[in-house]
Amino acid sequence: MTHWVVDTNVPRVANHPHDPTHASPECVLACVKRVLEITRGGGLLLDNAWHIIREYRNQLRSVGQPGLGDAFLRTVLTRYADPSWCTLVPITAHAERGFEEYPDDPVLAAFDPSDRKFVAVARAGPQPAVVLNAVDSDWWEHRHPLERNGVTVEFICPDAVGGS
């Protein structure tokens, strides 16, 4: 079974028309599809210290009239402790890299520090693990060193990040 690490930009894009990223209609539909697949089927990886959930909570809404990405957050908040749906992965703080599990690779020193928790969880969790990204070009720019360090990234919207 594949395990999924979901970058926050995926449910944010799925929140269309409330999505501030201005993704293409094709990208929105692709994100909606992936969010629905994970919401229904599980396989989500999160860190056990709530670094990812805190970011979701800062970027999405869990109350009110939600979009699909907001509904994803509600599902995460109600099912994160259900081992049949989610695996909680321990990750360890590191002064320079952010997390011990983040690769000690000089090429990845420029990778967005706020996204390092996703990389750490993907590396520390059960395999195979895939990070889902929609519109963040930093993942595309670092895809080769991430892959070299054992991190698989699925680009849901490759046109939005420089790929095709």
- Predicted confidence at residue 63, as pLDDT, reads 80
- Predicted confidence at residue 161, as pLDDT, reads 85
User: Would you call 36 helix, strand, or coil by DSSP?
Assistant: helix
CA 93 to chain centre: 19
The closest alpha carbon to 163, from 17, 83, 155, belongs to: 155
Q: pLDDT digit of tens for each residue in the chain (164 aa)? A: 899 999 999 999 999 866 566 789 999 999 999 999 999 999 999 999 999 999 999 999 988 677 899 999 999 999 999 999 999 999 999 999 999 999 999 999 999 999 999 999 999 999 999 999 999 999 999 999 999 999 999 999 998 887 65
How do 93-94 and 86-89 pair as beta strands? unpaired
Contact of 115 with 91, CB cutoff 8 Å:
no
- Predicted confidence at residue 17, as pLDDT, reads 67
- Predicted confidence at residue 20, as pLDDT, reads 63
Contact of 71 with 79, CB cutoff 8 Å:
no
